[in-house]
Amino acid sequence: MHTLGHSFIPPSIHEDGLRYHGIAPTLSLIYRHGAVETRAYNQVEVFKTATLFAKTEGIIPVPEPAHAIRAVIDEAIRCKRSNEEKTILFLLCGHGLLDLKVCEDYFSGKLKPYEYPEEKIRRLLKGYTGHIHG
C-alpha cells in the first residue's frame, strides 16, 4: 500500500475522506502499473468547477466527484489543444447531504485554498527506509 506513514498529519480540508494518508492496495497496484494517475487540486478551484458544472449541466455535484470533474475539464482542454480525440469517462455520484456546511463556507468566502505540502512530504520520504516502487 502506498502511504505517507503515521507521522504525516494532513491539514484540515473540506474532504475528510480524502485526507487519508494512504490508498487501497488494489489502487496502489494499478497505480504502480500505470493504469491510473493521480492529480491534486486546490479545494477552492474544485468548488469553482462544481459551480460551473451545475450551471452548465443542471446537476449539483458533491465535492468528491467535483475533483474528477476538474480533471475531466483539464484533460478535455489538453486534448483540444493537441487535437487529440479521446473519450473521457468519469463517475458522478453522491448526494451531498453531509456537504452542506462546506458549500456554505465556499459561497460565503470562508473556504480557503489548500496547497499540497510538497516540502513536508519530501522531508518525510527522505527519512523513509523502506522500498518505494516507481
- For 3, phi then psi, to 5°, come to -150, 160
Dihedral sign for Cα 69, 72, 76, 77, please.
positive
| Spans of all domains in the chain | 1-39+128-134, 41-115
Q: How far apart are CA 111 and CA 14, in angstroms?
A: 8
Instruction: Assess whether pLDDT exceeds 70 at residue 8.
Output: no
15-67, pLDDT tens digit by residue?
544 555 566 778 888 888 999 888 888 889 999 999 999 999 988 888 888 99
pLDDT of 69: 95
pLDDT of 49: 94
Kindly indicate the confidence band of residue 71, based on its pLDDT and cuts at 50, 70 and 90: very high
Residue 66: count of CB within 10 angstroms of its CB: 27
Strands of the chain, DSSP E: none
Q: How far apart are CA 132 and CA 49, in angstroms?
A: 34
Q: Which of 3, 1, 34 is closest to 125 using CA atoms?
A: 3
pLDDT higher for 117 or 81? 81
pLDDT of 132: 57
Average pLDDT over the chain, rounded to an integer: 80
Q: How far apart are CA 91 and CA 99, in angstroms?
A: 18
- For 22, phi then psi, to 5°, come to -145, 175
